Structure formats: C-alpha cells, structure tokens
Amino acid sequence: MAASLQIFQKTKAFFIEIGDISFFALRFFKEVFTKPFEFKELMRQCYHMGNRSLLLVGVTGFILGLVFTLQSRPTLMEFGAESWMPSMVSISIVREIGPVIIALICAGRIGSGIGAELGSMRVTEQIDAMEVSGTNPFKYLVVTRIVATTLMLPLLIVFGDTIALIGSAIVENLKGAVSYQLYFNQVFDALKFSDILPATVKSFFFGFAIGLIGCYKGYHCKKGTVGVGEASNSAVVYTSMLLFVIDFIAVFVSDIFFEV
C-alpha cells in the first residue's frame, strides 16, 4: 500500500513537473516576443554557449568520425564494400549520430552550466533581487539563455558534423588511400536534403530543450547550495532523456515528410 502510494506520489510529482515545464515553456514563448529585448545578454550567452563549446564539440566530432570509420571498416571490408564508407559515414553522422552526440555533449556542458548558474542565483536570492529592482529576471536570464542554446546548437552540430567527416576522411585517406576529393564527392553524392534538413530542424529543438530544462531546473532551484548541485545534475539527466524523446519524434515526423 505504502509502495503504491509512493508510486502514485512520484507519478503525480512527475506530471506536476511536466506541467510546470510546459507552463515555463509557455511563459518563454510569451516573453520572447515582447519588449524589451535583451540583445546584449543574448550575444554574451551565444558567445559562452557557442564559441566556448567549439573546442569540446570539435574534439568530440573529430574522434567520433575517426572511431566510427575505423570501427566500420572491417565490417564493410568483409563485404567488399569499402567504397560505401563515405556514404555510410556521412549519412549516419549527418542524419543521426552527429546531432544526438553533440546535443548530449552540450547538454552536459551547457545544460548543467545553466542549471548551476541560475540555481546559485536563485539560492543567493539574486533573482529575487532582480525582481525587486524592477528587472524581469525571466526575460534577462531565461529567455536569453534558451534563445542562445536554440540558435547555437544547430551551428555547433554543423561544425561537429563537418569535423567528424574530416576525421573520417583522414582515416579513409590513410587506411584506404582514398583521396579527400573523392571522399567528399561521394559524401555529397550520398547526402540529400532529406538527410540534412530534418537533422538541422531537429537540432533547433535539441537546443531549445537543453536551454529550457537547464533554465527550469536552475530557476526553480530549492534547498540552498545542495539544490544547486541537484539542479545541475537533474538538468543534464532530464535534458538527455528529452533529447532522445525529441529525436524519436523527429524521426517519425521526418519519415512522414521525407519518406526516409
């Protein structure tokens, strides 16, 4: 009885949280189109989330392309289909692996950062102070961050995909003596709009999810400094889960429109 009650309580808490996040998102859409617009803060956030993540995304993307090609080569060689490597790697990276992996990396770096930053502002009552001073903290702190992640993540994914393909091309060049020109010719032969457009659209949603969950967790942080860590941790966990849910939905939707 106590266990079922506990499950009920947790389910109830889960739905309450989903509802809260939905209201939080609704408030974001309400605030994002109303003045004043915090462009300066938006630029700062874009710089911190975009430029500062570039190295991490670049290294991750390069290793991703490199390892993916190295691991796939033996299997393709068994079938005598080495020439399919550029097609396979490019489609896999651009359509699925690139966006998901880079979004997860960004969820770890950006999502946790936002959760911790806003959480610490909440527990140190900086957000309350902003409300008292007449500044809209939601617009200044939340809207700018969510817009920044939504705009920056697609660019980071484009960079990550490009670097991953370069890593793959290097492996193919060294192992299979495939020229870079031939490699990228085959890559663009294999890629279609139906590969790149859904992935790009999906990455906006990934960015939005990272910003939204990070801000929500930080903005509603409780229990002092312990809550900051919790907010940061749960931001990453929730965002990672939400990314896969979004990916699942995106694949279904793109399948309807592009017949993948």
Partner 1 sequence: MQKSTSQKIKLGIFVILGTVLLVSALYFIGNRQNLFGKSIKLHAQFANVNGLQLGNNVRYSGINAGTVIGIEMTGQSQIVVSMLISEKIGGRIQKNAIATIGSDGLVGSMIVNIIPRKGEFPSVISGDTIATYSKIGADDMLTTLNVTNENAAILTSELLEITNKVLEGKGTVGMLINDSIMADDLKQSVFQLKQASTSASKAMAELNGIISSVNYEESVAGLLLSDTASAQKMRTVVDNLEQSSVNIEAMTRSLGTYISEIKEGKGTLNYLTQDEKFVKDLDSTLTNIKEATYRLNENMEALKHNFFFRGYFRKLERQNKKN
* DSSP H helical ranges for 96-223: 98-106, 112-123, 126-132, 137, 144-176, 180-190, 193-219
Nearer to partner 1, 199 or 242 (CB): 199
Give the span between the Cα atoms of 203 and 107, in whole angstroms: 12
Contact in structure between 94 and 192 (CB atoms under 8 Å): no
According to the binding rule CB under 8 A, does residue 46 interact with partner 1? yes
Binding mask 141-180 for partner 1 (x = CB under 8 A): -------------xxx-xx--x------------------
Q: Applying CB under 8 A, does 63 fall inside the site for partner 1?
A: no
- Tell me how far apart the alpha carbons of residues 247 and 250 are, in angstroms, rounded to a whole number: 5
**CB distance 149 to 239 below 8 Å:** no
DSSP code string of 51-99: IHHHHHHHHHHHHHHHHHHHHHHHHHHHTT-GGGHHHHHHHHIIIIIHH
Q: How far is the CB of 259 from partner 1 (least distance, A)?
A: 8
| Angle CA 144–118–131, to nearest 5 | 75
C-alpha 216/C-alpha 141 separation (Å) is: 11
* Closest CB to partner 1 among residues 30, 44: 44
Sole window of 49-57, 64-72, 102-110, 168-176 interacting with partner 1 (rule: CB under 8 A) = 49-57
Smallest separation, CB 162 to partner 1 (Å)? 5
Is 130 one of the binding residues for partner 1 (CB under 8 A)?
no
**Which C-beta is closer to partner 1: that of 136 or that of 200?**
200
Using CA atoms, how far apart are residues 125 and 104, in angstroms rounded to an integer? 30
Binding window for partner 1 (CB under 8 A); candidates: 39-47, 67-75, 124-132, 233-241: 39-47
**81 contacts partner 1 (rule: CB under 8 A):** yes
Min dist CB 104 to partner 1, Å, is 19
Phi, psi of 24, deg, nearest 5: -60, -40
The residue range among 59-67, 139-147, 183-191, 249-257 that interacts with partner 1, by the rule CB under 8 A, is 183-191
By CB under 8 A, residue 194 contacts partner 1: yes
Does residue 85 belong to the site contacting partner 1 (CB under 8 A)?
Answer: no
Residues of the shown chain interacting with partner 1 in the complex, contacts defined by CB under 8 A: 40, 43-44, 46-47, 50-51, 54, 81, 154-156, 158-159, 162, 188-189, 191-194, 196, 200, 259
